Amino acid sequence: MLVNLKIPAILFSSALLLSGCGGGGGGGSSANVAPDTPVLVAADYRTTEYNTQYGLGKINADDIYADGYSGSGVVVGVIDTGVDIDHPDLVGNIATGGYDYVSGDTDASPVSQGAVMSHGTHVAGIIAGMKNSVGMHGVAYSAKILPLRAGDSSGSFASSAIENSIDRAIAKMPR
């Protein structure tokens, strides 16, 4: 059954974004920092790349980064229209094991399916775009993205593709 679920997919993707922010990357105390290691404060993270991503300032991500959080060790399943796994801001943050439930293969990149841009790539960039002094970076810039393509380029999602994506995401998450 093919259903047009554009709004639920966007909301579901947003929920995944929030889940990717927590945990990972250590945190908090400068008591474990070597005496000769400079302690960074929030202002140290307000780079050009940080400022290019409007939302980072709105959520005060620099305060979280100063506490030692970056998304390191976190895997976020992006169930959407596919993720361009070769995108320069994502290529280093793609987890293995993604799947394309639209085409039925292991290539969840919409680029190889003929789509130039995808909502899923945009969502993945907001979550885990690499901090590499190019363009912008994501809120959890050291997290890994597990790309799961459940929707086609028109925004239509099969309910079975969503269900299978959720099952795969759960099975692939580190324990």
In angstroms, the CA 168 to CA 175 distance is: 14
Q: Please tell me the total count of domains within the chain.
A: 1
Domain assignment present for 46: yes
pLDDT higher than 60, residue 66: yes
Query: What mean pLDDT value characterizes the chain?
Result: 82
DSSP 8-state assignment for residue 53: S
Contacts of 123 (CB under 8 A, 6+ apart): 13, 16, 17, 78, 80
Domain assignment present for 68: yes
pTM of the full predicted structure? 0.77
Contacts of 78 (CB under 8 A, 6+ apart): 13, 16, 120, 123, 124, 127, 145, 146, 147, 148
pLDDT higher than 80, residue 45: yes
CATH of the domain at 48: 3.40.50.200
What is the span of the domain harbouring residue 23? 2-28+42-172
The percentage of residues in the chain with a pLDDT greater than 90, rounded to a whole number, is 60
Domain assignment present for 63: yes
